[in-house]
Structure 1
Amino acid sequence: MKKSQLAHASLAALGTMAAGVVHAQTNVTLYGVIDGSIEYVNRVGTAPANLATTGTATAPVGKRFDMPRAGGLSASRWGLRGTEDLGQGWSALFNLESGFDWDSGNLTTAPLFNRAAIVGLGNKDHGRLTFGRQYTSMTDALIVFAPLRFAASYEPGVWWLGLNYRQSNMAKYRGKFGGVQVGAHYSFGTASSLQAAGTGQPLGPGEAPGNIKDNSAWGAAVSYEGGGFAVGVGYDQWNPAPAATPGNTGRERKTGVAASYTTGRLKISGGYRYRDSQFSNDATLIRDDFWFAGVNYDVTAALGVQLGYYYSNIKQYRPTPAGVATNPANPQQVSLVLDYSLSKRTDVYLASSYVHNGSLINDGPFTGYLFNYPQAPGQKNMVGVTTGVRHIF
C-alpha cells in the first residue's frame, strides 16, 4: 500500500474512533415539568406595592377562583443538562434551568436561567465541584424531607429555607460516601431585588469591590440515609448590604434539621428550622422557629396521599431598622394532597390547605408575595383548594 493511501486509511480510522468516543462519552438531556391547576381561595387580600417596608396587605378582595401561575405540585420549568466523560472517573457537567408561568408562558422571574446555571467537574469517588446559580447546601440536605415534596402550592418551602435557597455567584462542593452526603458552598454575591423583600433595605450588587462581605453567603450540610432511616442537618448564612452604604452588612442565619423513616408504603417525616435575621445596625428583623411533620402513604401503586402540618413561632418581627419590634400571632397550617398517577410521567391531583393566624404557605414579605396569598387585614383563617394535571418530560 502506498504511503498516501496508508495515511488516508489511518486518518479515516482515527476519525471513526473519535466520533464513536465522543458519541459514547457525551450526553445532553432536555427535560422539564408543566403543572397546571384551577384554584379556589377564600379571604385573600392584595399584596402591598412596597414589599420592603410594608408587611400588611390591603383590604380583602374576597374569594378568588383562578389559575395560579405557580402550578399545584411543581413549579413549571424546562432545562438542559449534560455530562462528558473525561476518563479515570472524572466528568465535566453543566445544567441550565428556567422557570416559567404555565398559564401565560412568561418567565417566572428574570433572568432566563433563573433556576440554575451551573458548570463543574465531578469524580465518582471524590464528589463534584460546581460554579454558578444553584441550591444552597442546606436546601440540598433538607428538601427531601418536605412532607409535600416541596410542593409549589400549600407547602411553606420558601418560608422554611428562605428566599435565598438558590444563590448566584456560588462555588459548591458535594460528595457522597456510602450513605453519607456532605456539602459546602460560598457565594461571592447573592444580591437580587427579590431577595431584598422583607429586609427593609435595598441590596447593592454582588461581588462589591472593596467590600467582600457585602451580599456574600455561605453554608454547609451533612445527611445520612440507610435502612429506611434518613436524617439531614444544615447551616446557611447570608450577609445582605444596602447599595447606598456599602460595607454595612446585615446577617441572616438559618439552621435546620430533619429526619424521616420509611417502611413499606409509609413514610413519616419531621423537622425544625431556626432563623435569626438582623439589619446592618444589629436590630432584629425576624427571629422565628419553624416546625413541620408529615405522613406520606401509597394507598395503591397509582394513588398517593401526602399530609403535612406546619407551625411557625414568630418570636420577634421588626419591618424596618428603626421600627418597633412586635410579636405576631403564630401561623399554623395543615395541607393534604391526593395524587393519582396516570403513567410514569403524568399525574392528576387534588390538594387542599387550611391556615390559622396567617396566609397560605406564610406568604408575605419574607416570600416576596410570590404565591399571591396575602393576608387581608383582620383575617385569621384562609382555605385553599386546587386541582390539576402535571406532566414530566
Structure 2
Amino acid sequence: MPDRSALRGWPVWLGLSALAGAAQAQGSSVTVYGVADAYLTGIWGGAGSITQLQSGGLSGSRLGFRGREDLGGGLYANFVLETGLNMDDGTYGQGAVFGRQSFVGVGSTSLGAVTLGRQYTGFWHVTDEFSEFSNSGNGPSSAVIGGFGGYEPVRGSLDSGTGNGGPARLNNAVKYESPVWAGFRFGMQGGFGEVVDDASGNRVLDAYARYAQGPVDIAAAYVDDRGGSVLPDAARRSYIVAAAYSFGNLKVRGAYLEVDDRSSFNQDGSGWWVGADYRLGTSLVKIQYVVNAPSYVSDAHTQGIGLGYEYSLSRRTTLYTSVSYFKNDVNAGLGRASFTIPSGLTTTADNDLTQWVGGMRFTF
C-alpha cells in the first residue's frame, strides 16, 4: 500500500503552484525581504558604565512581505506587511506583529498612489534620510532631538515614543503620494481617530514635499496631531526642513526641526543637526553634530557629536562602528540620547555620556 499521508499535501501544493504561475503570468510578484542588524555598545557616564547588545544600529531589524500586480494601462495594486524584530532577544518590535508597516493600495505611474493602513509619515522619512546616523541608536542621530515632544501617534494617541521630534507611523491612515515630476514629488496622509460622533477627533495629518535633482536634495514636512476630545494632551504640531548636497564622493546634509506643543504641557522646543559623509570604495566615513533645545525648561540642552565608519563586505553585509559624545545640561535628563539609558550612569553634576558602537547588518 502506498503511504497516503505523504500525498495529502500535494493537491494544496499543486493548487498554490498553479496560482503562483497564473499570478506571474499576469505580472504579479511577491517578495520576502528583511534586515538583520545587531550591535554591541558601551556607554560611559559620570557615575558608571554599561555594555549592551542591541538591535538595529544602522537599520531596524525586520521581516517583510511586499507584493505588486500589474493591472494594465499603467495601473498597479500593491501591499506591504512588515514586522519589526529585536535581534537581541527575538521579540517583536513596535509591540505588534506587523508594527513597522501594513498597508494595501492602488497606483498609477502617471497619477500617483493611494494606500490604506499603518504607514510611515513623510516627517519620519525626512528625519531618517537627511541624518548621517538615521533614527537609530548608533551615534548622535536625529532621535536625539524631540525629547520634548517625540511620540508616535496611533489613532492620534501617544505610542512608545520614537524620540525623533515627530511621529514615525500612523495607524488607520489614508495616504496619497504623487509621481515624480522633474525631481519634485509630494505626499499627504490622514490617520483617522475613530472617535464616535467626532470625525476629526484624535486625527493626525501629515504632509511633505521634496525636490531631488542632481546633487541637490531639499525636503520639508509637517505633522498636526489634533489630540481632540479623547486625548487633548496629544495635541502637537511638528515642522522640519532639510537639505543635502553632493560634491562627488562627499555629501553634506542637515535639518532644522521644531515642535509646537499645544497641550497643557506646552513642551515646545527645536533642534537641528548637520553632518557629512565621504565614500571611498567599500568604506564610508561620516560625522554629525546634533543640538536639542527645549524651550519650556532652562538648562536642558543636549549637544552630540559622533564619528562613524562603515565597511561593506558585500552588497548585503556591512560592518559599522562609531564613537559619540553627548554633552547634557543639568536639566537635560536621560531622554536626550538616541538610545535607552539605564539609571545609574549619570549624576546631577555630570550628565555627559560617551558611547561606542560596533555592529553588523545583513540585508536580504
Q: TM-score range by the shorter chain?
A: 0.7 to 0.9
Query: Can you give the 5+ residue segments of structure 2 that lack an aligned partner in the other structure?
Result: 1-17, 147-163
Deviations 1:126-182 (A, max 9, x none): 111111111112223453211224434224434454362211111111112220010
Normalising by structure 1, what TM-score?
0.76
2:37 alignment partner, one of 31, 35, 38: 35
Does 2:27 match 1:25? yes
Aligned residues: 325
Q: Is the 8 A contact 1:80 1:97 kept in 2?
A: yes
In 2, Cα distance between the equivalents of 1:81 and 1:220? 24
Deviations 1:231-287 (A, max 9, x none): 00111111235xxx73746421111100010121100011101111122xxx34311
Q: Is the 8 A contact 1:240 1:249 kept in 2?
A: yes
Does 2:199 match 1:168? no
**What residue number does 2:284 align with?**
304
Distance 1:373 1:87, change over 3 A: farther
Task: Select the structure of larger CA radius of gyration.
Answer: 1
In 2, Cα distance between the equivalents of 1:98 and 1:247? 27
**What pairs with 1:25-64 in structure 2 (closer than 5 Å)?**
25-43=27-45, 62-64=48-50
**What residue number does 2:268 align with?**
287
Normalising by structure 2, what TM-score?
0.82
Q: 3-state SS of the aligned residue for 2:128?
A: helix
Q: How much has 1:363 moved relative to structure 2?
A: 5.8
In 2, Cα distance between the equivalents of 1:233 and 1:373? 34
Distance 1:263 1:137, change over 3 A: same
**What residue number does 2:341 align with?**
372
Between the two proteins, what is the percent identity of the paired residues? 28
In 2, Cα distance between the equivalents of 1:377 and 1:240? 36
Q: 3-state SS of the aligned residue for 1:138?
A: helix
In 2, Cα distance between the equivalents of 1:291 and 1:157? 8
Q: Is the 8 A contact 2:166 2:223 kept in 1?
A: no
Does 2:223 match 1:221? no
Aligned residues: CA RMSD: 2.6
In 1, Cα distance between the equivalents of 2:287 and 2:240? 21
Q: 3-state SS of the aligned residue for 1:164?
A: coil
**What residue number does 1:82 align with?**
67
Distance 1:99 1:173, change over 3 A: same
**What pairs with 1:107-186 in structure 2 (closer than 5 Å)?**
107-158=92-143, 159=145, 161-162=164-165, 164-175=167-178, 176-186=180-190
**What pairs with 1:271-286 in structure 2 (closer than 5 Å)?**
271-279=255-263, 283-286=264-267
In 1, Cα distance between the equivalents of 2:40 and 2:200? 44
Q: Which moved more, 1:249-258 or 1:333-342?
A: 249-258
Q: How much has 1:377 moved relative to structure 2?
A: 4.2
In 1, Cα distance between the equivalents of 2:339 and 2:45? 17
**Amino acid across the alignment from 1:251:** A
In 1, Cα distance between the equivalents of 2:231 and 2:294? 29
Q: How much has 1:20 moved relative to structure 2?
A: 5.4
Q: 3-state SS of the aligned residue for 2:125?
A: helix
**Amino acid across the alignment from 1:36:** A
